[in-house]
Amino acid sequence: MRKLLNTIYVTNSDAYLSLENNNLVCTVEKETLLKIPLDNVENIVCFNYLGCSTGLMGECVKKRIPLNFMSPEGRFLAKVFGETKGNVFLRVEQIDKFRENGLQMAKNEMAAKFSNCIYTMKRTLHDHAELKEDAAMAEALQVLKEGVEKAEECDSVDLLLGIEGNCASIYFGIFSKLITGNNLAETFQYRNKRPPLDPVNALLSFVYTLEMIDCSAALETVGLDSYIGFYHTLRSGRASLACDLVEEFRGIGERFVLTLLNLKVISEEDFEKQLTGAVLLNDNGRKKLLTKWQEKKRTEIYHPVLKENIPYGLLPYVQSNLLAKYVRGEVEEYIPLLLKRTVK
């Protein structure tokens, strides 16, 4: 099993990254805050930082360690990565496989996504029995269950997109009910983005971006082209396959956001509202979230295909590897991550 390495998140606007004897060094005003062997790092994510030495950048390229640049609010800006390598024939097989079986793969992916939404709701219902009598919750569960069935039966991507849109609207319509004991629930009415207009949407968008970074890096690691997807249409500059893969991870991100809110790790003071109306995490809020995200990635989860416990942080790599096996014809189908199966 692949070893879980470190993802380094840089949030200090005065931080400077450099290379010293094969160590990643982070300094602020000439004071060293972090020194870690570069071989123990698998990803670097920079938010609003001072700079990075060309020596470190070159070594990251050589070792194929993604160096991601984000805006302070969590919007992806750019990525420095090494030369695209891997088996070119695998990428040809990827294109052929997706053309031939893309619709079925998309149907399975959406069915898994809706199932994970159901799992998230049932987790809350288990802890808050009073919500079982809520009519909106019952309706949402029914729509999502029907969504799973319809996804498995539909015969076009356009129809699948319609099913997804309806399920998402219903699910996020009751999402605030899953937030218990935190007044930020009152700020959430529906899913919005680019920019997020309330604290809950700000958290969701930020976490989805973190998952997107992990999925994109994992796909490239196993030799797949992250820009050639089976569900999201091809678009210049968009990592469509990473967008596809992240769909099955949204449930993990949503559960994580709910945990932050329900345990009151995040509060109203961790956000700032801009003149445009956008609501974004402030420096303190980002640090809180990233600390908890790293802790989450180190905890273990039972994987039903591997039949063993693995760290959450390895899930993108494991699923990407299973997808590559499917493309190569080593397994008959690709099985998306189903959270309900991860409870041993």
What DSSP element (H or E) covers 291?
Answer: helix 283-298
Left (φ > 0), alpha (ψ -120 to 50) or beta: where does 292 sit? Answer: alpha
Say if strands 15-20 and 23-28 run parallel, antiparallel, or are unpaired: antiparallel
| Token digits of residue 107 | 């149907």
Alpha-helical (H) ranges within 157-271 are 157-173, 199-221, 240-246, 250-262
CA distance from start to end of the chain: 20
Question: Is 126 annotated to bind ligand?
Answer: no
- Residue 164 labelled as part of a binding site: yes
Residue 90 backbone phi and psi in degrees, to 5: -65, -40
Distance in angstroms (rounded) separating the CA atoms of residues 163 and 272: 35
Amino acid at 119: Y
Is position 59 annotated in a ligand binding site?
no
Q: Measured between alpha carbons, how far is 177 from 172 in angstroms, rounded to an integer?
A: 10
What are 272's strand-pairing partners?
280
Half-sphere exposure of 2 (CA within 13 A, CB side): 18
- Secondary structure letter of residue 2 according to DSSP: P
Residues annotated within a binding site for Mn(2+): 164, 232, 247
Residues annotated within a binding site: 164, 232, 247
